[in-house]
Amino acid sequence: MNISKASEATGLTAKTIRYYESIGLVSPASRKDNGYRDYDNQHIRELKFVSHARELGFSLEECGELLGLYQKSDRKSADVKAVALARIDDIDQKIVQLQAMRDSLKTLASCCHGDDQPGCPILDNLAGE
């Protein structure tokens, strides 16, 4: 299977697939005589796994970790769960941060007339009142 077919099958771009191979995240594709990469079902499974993990917000490093656990039959589910819980904590922190920003911005924006006059509480706030 050519890389463009692998791309179709996984939803990842060809560029991304090559990149994942180049950093050692997924196992390298075998090569045909003309040098083209050749993908089989095992490769596709790996790539889909990483793609799903990325959609859940895992970093490439975490994806590698999870992929390793996935392919290790004597893994402990506790190790997987630990990665997921750490990710949840990160996400929760980010959400709290973003909500604080949004609340501040909404407050400021609601005080701003938004007309063609120069007076603006948003700028006043940024300038430190």
Q: Give the interface with DNA as residue ranges (CB under 7 A).
A: 2-5, 13-16, 18-19, 29, 33-37, 54, 59-61
- Please work out the total of residues on this chain that contact a second copy, with binding judged by CB under 8 A: 52
Q: What distances in angstroms separate CA 56 from CA 2, 49, 64, 88, 90, one per listed residue?
A: 27, 11, 14, 10, 12
* Maximal C-alpha separation, the chain: 70
Distance CA(104)–CA(39), nearest Å, equals 50
Hey, which residues does 38 pair with through a beta bridge? 30
Q: How far is the CB of 24 from a second copy (least distance, A)?
A: 19
C-alpha dihedral sign at 105, 107, 108, 112? positive
Binding part of the chain for a second copy, among 1-9, 17-25, 34-42, 116-124 by CB under 8 A, reads 116-124
Q: What is the CA radius of gyration of the chain?
A: 23
CB nearer to DNA: pick between 41 and 110: 41
**What residues line the site for a second copy (CB under 8 A)?**
45, 48-49, 52-53, 55-57, 66, 69-70, 73-78, 80-82, 84-85, 87-88, 91-92, 94-95, 98-99, 101-102, 104-106, 108-109, 112-120, 122-123, 125-128
